[in-house]
Structure 1
């Protein structure tokens, strides 16, 4: 029996289901099954990770349907599943993010679509809420200015063509869902001297007719990390909803709540932690060469009066923002291991906790990819408890909006 076959059976998957989870066709999977061809290590790693339990959607009729665009590893989705939503369409172009997504949502009855630009809006099933953590890109206003000068009408296709926000706009225009949530970096507000955000607001409000509210929210009250992101909520019909009314918890946890060995939170988990106390594996400690380089780099910029340098933190602290480049040197969040010891990076498991994907009382998120890819994925993700808080703030307004729709609305 091939290793693929053994792992597949332990995961409780058919050959077809395993092929779908890994993103390959059935013919290839049957060659793995027979041992004719050995799959890539990423496929075997995925199946090994699927031996562990995964949080599953509760059975029953969903409260609403949503789509997950620029999905990453499903952070936005988790917040809306928490209030009873069902995901009916997913789009994510990165193949490694797709692996992690499939591993954590194996119960989906739909595929993970790739490039959203290649998907016609009419091919997307009906839904009630659109979720999108769309990339920030500059918009060219030259065409708009020219048309204004000629007193000619223009629309979002003219203003946003060539950007990924255009795909959000065209899907909203076609399906007219009851609501949406868009997420982006804080700098979206000042991007291209504020012109990018002005176009976005104009498209959503004036051209598509949605009632929007937005707010920059820091993840610190929910997880031990400063992470400011802008969230834009829109409702199709008039509503009293306001992001400014959303309650924000006071205080916030510290790093001891997510670090290996700093609290009684887990058994040792290879390859991330080891030993009877479950401390971080030795491989996450920086090399002497890298540690010396980072110290010299920080000192050089200190002498110039710059603020560049590493972020050294301990169990009682709050971390800087985790970035997608964390895999390079880990400099923004280095864990102090005590006097005379070289600091270490966070492990991918600690990153999952830092971003709120792993939470007490829930099965840990599956991480079927390499450390490098995991760091990129968590660095690009949203803080899940923040999204859940927004979803719960939206919930009464969303339920009211859906109740006012046609009686024949189908949420099955």
Structure 2
């Protein structure tokens, strides 16, 4: 009975807006206590602080943090940056340079911190492209790094659409248990909730006219898509079936035009922003940040107060909370028996 009373201490690295933490808190309830958070993006920090009330400050650049200054912890949560390995990016991997920082090697800071603290479990999430980057060598290096510091590594690609959200989003999940913990019983969850559709997550009330595309912009999108199709590329805007699922919302908040929907509830077509042409009468609009939040499994109680541009970026960079919660439940089973 004593093991069930254990409170696990966790740290949240590359925390973004807290999606991984939220999933673990759903699974562990009051049996998890976040003792350290690191996130270098100032706008992500603002959204994080608005939704999580900690009695410590969020640390910035993790590469500048001495591992000895981090409190002891049992669980490391680390959604290390995906852009270096993403199909949507240049896929530079360990050679990726962004603002003087190598995003591809930031996982080494996870290794450095965990080698010193030896937590019970390390949890990482990344893009599916990580698994085949550089013919699989990159992923092998990452797995080997965790094994060399004393961990048994499990990994699996899961799709968000199987976990109760209407988003076709494949990601690789890595779970590493310290080798003295009996983890052979660990298994990734089987997602079996794939019947949720876009209609289920749409705003209940008509949304602002600002989300509706102008006729001139739609014409630009049509021409852009035609140019790419002529070259044999699949790029371009896409209007999603409300009874279907969205494509992956992606790093940086790009891809809004890949997830357009038709919503004919708008009655007042007077623009509230400067647009070319007029508001289209076919009901074609972008999804709202709240709808993107729902695509990622964030509850409606999650506060969204920043400008839309920041919110789209944050949710595109975030994780699907439902998937994290399902994996965290399986991790908890192993830890509670250890």
Give TM class, smaller chain: 0.7 to 0.9
2:51 aligned residue (101, 104, 112)? 104
**Match in the other structure for 2:237:** 310
Higher relative contact order (CA 8 A, sep 6+): 2
Tell me the equivalent position of 1:321. 248
Q: Determine which of 205, 214, 235 is the counterpart of 2:177.
A: 235
Query: Does 1:113 pair with 2:59?
Result: yes
**Quick one: which of 188, 192, 197 aligns to 1:254?**
197
Distance of aligned partners of 1:250 and 1:105 in 2 relative to their CA distance in 1, 3 Å threshold? closer
Higher Cα radius of gyration: 1
Paired residues of 2:256 and 2:286 also in contact (CA < 8 A) = yes
Alpha-carbon distance, 1:250 to partner: 4.1
Q: Secondary structure at the match of 2:336?
A: helix
Change (3 A) 1:242 1:311: farther
C-alpha displacement of 1:332? 1.3
Seen in structure 2, the aligned counterparts of structure 1 residues 184 and 294 have a Cα distance that, compared at 3 Å, is same
Call closer, same or farther: CA 1:130–1:325 in 2, change over 3 Å.
closer
Gaps of 5+ in 2: 85-92, 96-101, 265-279
1:165 corresponds, among 79, 83, 107, to 107
1:66 maps to 2:10 = yes
Pairing 1:85–2:32 present: yes
Distance 2:103 2:170 in 1: 28
Alpha-carbon distance change, 168 to 300 in structure 1, aligned in 2, over 3 angstroms? same
- Structure 1 residues 131 and 75, CA gap change in structure 2 (3 angstroms): same
Which residue matches 1:270? none
After TM superposition, give the deviation of residue 191 of structure 1 in Å.
Answer: 1.4
Identify which of 284, 304, 308 aligns with 1:343. 284
Quick check: 1:210 aligned with 2:151? yes
Deviation for aligned residue 1:365: 0.7
Give the drift of 1:302.
Answer: 2.2
Per-residue displacement from partner, 1:89-110 (whole Å, max 9, x unpaired)?
000000000000000012x122
TM-score by length of 1: 0.69
Report the counterpart of residue 8 of structure 1 in structure 2: none
1:389 is paired with a residue whose SS is helix
Aligned pair count reads 298
Please tell me whether the aligned partners of residues 166 and 194 of structure 2 are also in contact (alpha carbons under 8 angstroms): no
Deviation by residue 1:185-236 (Cα, 9 ceiling, x = unmatched): 000011122221111111111x112001100010002200001110000100
Partner of 1:219: 160
Question: Could you tell me whether the CA contact under 8 Å between 2:161 and 2:193 is conserved in 1?
Answer: no
Query: Is 1:139 aligned with 2:76?
Result: no
Q: Provide Cα deviations, 1:233-261, integer angstroms capped at 9, x if missing partner.
A: 010024214444x2221433001111113
Paired with 2:51 and 2:104, the residues of 1 have a C-alpha distance of: 32
Aligned CA-pair RMSD: 2.1
Match of 2:242, SS state, is: coil
Partner in structure 1 of residue 317 of structure 2: 380
In structure 1, how many angstroms separate the alpha carbons of the residues matched to 2:37 and 2:6?
Answer: 17
SS in 2 for 1:396: helix
Residue 258 (structure 2) aligns with: 332
8 Å contact kept, 1:218–1:226: yes
Contact 2:47 2:305 in 1 (8 A): yes
Aligned partners of 1:396, 1:330: CA distance in 2, in Å? 38
- Relative to structure 1, the CA distance from residue 248 to residue 196 in structure 2 (aligned partners, 3 Å threshold; closer, same or farther) is same
Q: Secondary structure at the match of 1:280?
A: coil
Tell me the CA shift for residue 304 of structure 1. 3.0
Counterpart contact for 2:252–2:314, Cα < 8 Å:
no
Cα offset, 1:355, TM superposition: 0.7
| Correspondence for 1:95 | 42
2:246 match: secondary structure: coil
**TM-score, normalised via structure 2 length:** 0.83
Report the Cα distance in structure 2 between the residues aligned to 1:162 and 1:260, rounded to whole angstroms.
37
Q: How far apart in 2 are the matches of 1:341 and 1:250? A: 32
Q: Residues 87 and 315 (structure 1 numbering): CA distance in 2 closer, same or farther, change over 3 Å? A: same
1:366 corresponding residue in structure 2: 303
Question: For the Cα contact (< 8 Å) 1:259–1:350, is it kept in 2?
Answer: yes
SS in 2 for 1:369: coil
Distance in 1 separating the partners of 2:6 and 2:303: 24
